[in-house]
Structure 1
Amino acid sequence: MPTPFRPFAALLAWLLGAGIALAQDYPLVIPHAFGTTTIADKPQRIATVNSGNHEVPLALGVVPVGMAAANYGDDDGDGVLPWVEERLAELAAGTPVLFDEGDGIDFEAVAATEPDVILAAYSGLTRADYDTLSRIAPVVAYPDGAWTTEWRQMIRMNGAGMGMAAEGEALVARMEARIADAVARHPQLRGKTAMFVTHLDTTNLSVVNFYSAHDTRVKFFADLGLAMPRSVTEATRPGQFFGSVSAERIDAFDDVDIVVTYGGPDLLAAMKADPLMAHMPAVAHGAVVMLGNDPLGNAANPTPLSLPYVLDAYVALLAEAARKSP
């Protein structure tokens, strides 16, 4: 279930423990996986890289000068997801500069926006990426590993980097309340186990690829009342958000009640027809949630602005799968 609202003392302890003060006195010193970042003054020009980070300033009423173009779930191909378009309209703002990250971060485009800070708390930055971006402006990088920052940490770190730690904590509380409300309407989810299978090839299902216990999509299952299968925990490697297991070992996943994956009817049909994968109880019973390349596909990885759009539909799909589970 979602983490309960933090009392002020606990909140203050967390922020101080992370080297971030609620008062946001400057200079700020923010610890992360690559060391620490010092921000001398409250940033006015905010840039973000990689997916989702731009939604934190937008949710807090700040329009970034530049952000990554959407490359997944973009229904009209303009590089901006529908909930972001709506928020920009609410703020009476035009579309910020969009960074094309199809071949990696466009450092020249980021530099051209002349940012005071670059937010990347949820990202896949390499050390080289971080060093290059740091020559442009202070960078708020992820706290532990690439693509492993769960949504609360993303909001808190990016909010702190903007000098808006208290506002970020309030945003976390609002999201937690929204999630709790959605989950309360589907009690059948409680205690069910879920596994996020991904990057499957319909022509060759000899390998089962999955997001590990470190991945944000898997961490989000806990917010929705779902439990971690022991099989996924045991197959998770330190520091890795992704794992692979031979389909010959499919019996290891007998403890999985619900499978979530990206794909459509063709993939589901292939999974049910495969002589090995069909032995997985969740697959055999049809307890599978298929997420397509559309706005709903973003539901598995919550962000501040996407949550009101896709949460209810995602939870409903999970609840339907739970009813079919063995």
Structure 2
Amino acid sequence: MKKHKKMLHMFLFVSVFMLVLAGCGSNTEEPATTDENSESAEGYPITIKHALGETVIEEKPERVATVGWSNQDVALALGVVPVGFSAANYGVQDGSGVLPWTAEKLKELGEDNPNVYQDTDGLDFEAIADSQPDVILAAYSGITQEDYDTLTQIAPVVAYQETPWVSSWQDTVLYNAMAMGMEAEGKQLIADTEQLIADKAAEVPDMQGKKGAFVALSPGDLSKFYIYTTGDPRGAFIEELGMEYPQNIKDQLEEGSFYLEFSSENADILNDLDLFVVYGNEETLKELQADPLYGKVPAIERGSVVLIEDNTPLAAAGTPSPLSIEYTIDEYVKLVSEALEKVE
């Protein structure tokens, strides 16, 4: 029996935190042009509305801190080294708390010893305060109202627009850039990244119009599965590359949901897929093919499945940023192309 939910907090982080790669379409909504979200003729103050309130930034910040996921990549992509940022708790191979594309950009900008907040078990307010930020970027995060209220005692905070951990990479760039007083530069970064995606997709014309989806399984438990919708960056990135979610999956969507949950008895909802992306390895595929329910799904039967190894940088890029997209898109597109070769 299918169930719709609004949030999948812990599963989201364990299975991927994203981690892949994924955007929310190229049609990023412009921020409102009302007084609530605009700049004066002099540029400041800037007022930005978000889910947890509204933030007034009196002058262009010099010291930028970030919490949550990928917000630091926005600052770095715009040439600003944060005075502190949250540790990545997924996909990091060396225990540094810094993903490879972030480390690469830090090195490029001359930062060899970044200030990484060890906050995977909760925000380290003392460490954040010690870094003395002028603004705190949290456009892609799961901060609570209580977190927000505490953080605002340190510096102005820009939170997510509507729902925790649900934001397109475009909106993450836009609102973080606005908070930094770099809205124009942020829009250009979005345009450049969208062009990169389009260029890479054009290299594999067979992707265009194919039916695809991003699926997740609970490790060791095939009794249920999840489909990330286009409201989630992973699902959205499927469409940014030119593929489409099948209509039978679209018909299940509810406004505001970013994933669908199904029991294994409903595995046939995957039948219209040419391919799908899933976290796992060859053993995962073998297990699915041997299952009496999943094994009947055409994409599984023929092996047109994109397997992304768990807890790797590519898996972490599932919630993408301009830096992670640039760093991983070639590998991702290659895996999709290889899966498409198995489609008749």
TM-score by length of 1: 0.90
Letter paired with 1:278: G
Distance 2:260 2:49 in 1: 28
Give the aligned partner of residue 32 of structure 1. 50
* Higher mean displacement: 208-217 or 160-169: 208-217
TM-score by length of 2: 0.86
Indicate yes or no: 2:182 matched with 1:164. yes
**Where do 1:1-326 residues align within 5 Å?**
3=26, 14=31, 16=33, 19-21=37-39, 25-202=43-220, 204-292=221-309, 293-325=311-343
Displacement of 1:301: 2.9
In percent, how many aligned pairs have the same letter? 44
Distance 2:287 2:177 in 1: 43
* Higher mean displacement: 21-30 or 107-116: 21-30
Contact in 1 for aligned 2:40/2:46 (Cα 8 Å): no
Displacement of 1:172: 0.9
Q: Where in structure 2 are there 5+ consecutive unaligned residues?
A: 1-23
* Higher mean displacement: 45-54 or 225-234: 225-234
Letter paired with 1:186: V
Letter paired with 1:265: E
Q: Where in structure 1 are there 5+ consecutive unaligned residues?
A: none
SS in 2 for 1:51: coil
Displacement of 1:2: 6.6
Tell me which of the two structures has the higher relative contact order, counting C-alpha pairs closer than 8 angstroms and 6 or more residues apart.
2
Displacement of 1:316: 1.4
Distance 2:143 2:304 in 1: 35
Letter paired with 1:223: E
Q: CA RMSD in A?
A: 2.3
Letter paired with 2:238: F
Tell me: CA distance 1:24–1:101, structure 2 relative to 1, closer, same or farther (3 Å).
farther
Displacement of 1:246: 0.9
Distance 1:84 1:201 in 2: 28
Displacement of 1:15: 5.9
Tell me: CA distance 1:229–1:24, structure 2 relative to 1, closer, same or farther (3 Å).
farther
**1:266-317 deviation digits (Å, cap 9, x = unpaired):** 2222111111111222211211111122222234332121222210110111
Letter paired with 1:213: T
SS in 1 for 2:265: helix
Displacement of 1:72: 1.7
SS in 2 for 1:36: strand
Displacement of 1:24: 7.5
Contact in 1 for aligned 2:217/2:224 (Cα 8 Å): no
Distance 1:196 1:254 in 2: 14
Q: How many residues align?
A: 319
SS in 2 for 1:306: helix
SS in 2 for 1:73: coil
Contact in 1 for aligned 2:214/2:238 (Cα 8 Å): no
Displacement of 1:21: 4.2
**1:99-143 deviation digits (Å, cap 9, x = unpaired):** 123212222222221211111111122222222222222111111
